[in-house]
Amino acid sequence: MAKAARVSRLLEIVSLLQSGTGWTAQALAARFGVSPTRVFHDIRALRGAGVPVRRSRHGYGIDPSFFLPSVRLTPQELLLLLFPAEVFAGAESDAVALRAARSKLLVCLPEPLRATAQELLARTSVRLPTGGVDARVLAEVRAAVAERRRVAITYTSARTARRRLEVHPYGLAYRKHAWYLVAHSLAHGEVRKFRVSRIAAVERTGLHFTVPQDFSLEDVFAGSWYVFGGEPQEIGVRLSPRVARLVAERVAHPGERLHVLDDGWTFYTARVRNLDEVAWWLVQYGGEAVVAYPPALRQKVISLAEGVLRAHGVPGLEAPRPYRQAGADVMPLVGESAERRG
């Protein structure tokens, strides 16, 4: 990845030097966290690639008239550069467009950078789980979002039978290994999230819609653990040293905190909007994640664990200490009120 970091640094140096503000070697070194000697090598590489880097008493700069060659990209090519094809369902048309866009960009790079970029492309692979999404369905949903078309989706939720719903597709979001369509459902009269893998078909209605000015995709998911919302509430969980390391490595949720305790375990706190999602997350860690509060979350985890035991033919199996009674074993905590402990 050292080559990738250098390519990124070289391109940013070009952008900075074109800004018209003089940059000294020391200033560039501080900016990128490298030595001035490394900056001198970078400047030499840029000059060798044909970039007219000049030095004055104010520092380094590039003639404002110098530009990389313009690139004419189709809308599909541009979309796939912003959101790589690997993130989508892998439709062949997307793969072809992505290869075409990459080729157009590569020919614009100076030879040293082009060779490095081609090597990185050959040695880098990204393939995210798509959650069983039909490539054609995802393509239709993407088009409906981009063109603001009202569509009718054939949808099967986790609790209801298949039904046909007309929706205004506002946006797409990727959460927890799955794509979700955020859309205004005419049948429900509100904005809802639809898992794209549960959409069997998308029909065009020939109608269009206007996205509300105050709509924000980030606001829809604000405070969500993964996908679903609800009233915000605080949770507290004791984590074993092993699980604490795993939790620290994953993508952080806003406002979460990890505090190492005297016994080596870690106390985890966060504000969440859906306890069901958190319970499913915690139960995978078994006795190495012990809920302190709220009681509702503790009960959800217990219910899930009991269901697993019953399904495996071991009814009445009593968990060993210190996981038998989470409340008695992990509390009281310093500074914690009796009301919050439940």
Claim to verify: residue 209 and residue 241 sit in the same structural domain = no
| Position 317 confidence tier, pLDDT thresholds 50, 70, 90 | low
2 or 203, which is more confident:
203
Average pLDDT, the chain: 78
What is the per-residue pLDDT for 146? 87
pLDDT over 90, % of the chain: 26
Judging by beta carbons within 10 Å of its beta carbon (0-12, 13-18, 19+), is residue 85 exposed, middle or buried? buried
What is the mean pLDDT of the segment spanning 70-98?
59
287 or 318, which is more confident:
287
Claim to verify: residue 200 and residue 290 sit in the same structural domain = no
Domain containing 209: what range? 135-221
Q: Which two tokens stand for residue 172?
A: 């797409």
Claim to verify: residue 203 and residue 240 sit in the same structural domain = no
What is the mean pLDDT of the segment spanning 264-286?
88
What is the mean pLDDT of the segment spanning 304-308?
86
Last residue in a domain, options 199, 221, 243 = 221
On whether residue 65 sits in a domain, the answer given is no
Claim to verify: residue 157 and residue 213 sit in the same structural domain = yes
| Position 199 confidence tier, pLDDT thresholds 50, 70, 90 | very high
pTM of the model as a whole? 0.53
On whether residue 59 sits in a domain, the answer given is no
On whether residue 303 sits in a domain, the answer given is yes
On whether residue 96 sits in a domain, the answer given is no
Which has the minimum average pLDDT: 12-16, 26-30, 62-66, 309-313? Answer: 62-66
Given a contact cutoff of 8 angstroms between Cβ atoms, the answer to whether 105 and 98 are in contact is no
What is the per-residue pLDDT for 334? 33
Determine the Cα–Cα distance for residues 337 and 298; give it in Å rounded to an integer: 17
Residue-wise pLDDT tens digits, 249-272:
876 676 788 999 999 999 999 888
Which has the minimum average pLDDT: 194-203, 231-240, 265-274, 320-329? Answer: 320-329
On whether residue 130 sits in a domain, the answer given is no
Claim to verify: residue 192 and residue 262 sit in the same structural domain = no
Determine the Cα–Cα distance for residues 40 and 36; give it in Å rounded to an integer: 6
Residue-wise pLDDT tens digits, 137-159:
988 998 899 899 999 999 998 77
Q: What is the 3-state secondary structure (H, E, C) of 57-94?
A: CCEEEECCCCCCCCCCCCHHHHHHHHCCHHHCCCCHHH
On whether residue 28 sits in a domain, the answer given is no
What is the per-residue pLDDT for 201? 94
What is the per-residue pLDDT for 244? 92
For the cut 90, the answer to whether the pLDDT of residue 112 exceeds it is: no
CATH, residue 208: 2.30.30
On whether residue 158 sits in a domain, the answer given is yes
| Position 30 confidence tier, pLDDT thresholds 50, 70, 90 | confident
Last residue in a domain, options 167, 198, 221 = 221
For the cut 70, the answer to whether the pLDDT of residue 294 exceeds it is: yes
Claim to verify: residue 324 and residue 252 sit in the same structural domain = yes
What is the per-residue pLDDT for 78? 56
On whether residue 255 sits in a domain, the answer given is yes
Q: Got the DSSP string for 1-65? A: -HHHHHHHHHHHHHHHHTTSS-B-HHHHHHHHT--HHHHHHHHHHHHHTT--EEEETTEEEE-TT
What is the per-residue pLDDT for 225? 61
Claim to verify: residue 242 and residue 332 sit in the same structural domain = yes
Number of domains within the chain: 2
Last residue in a domain, options 221, 251, 276 = 221
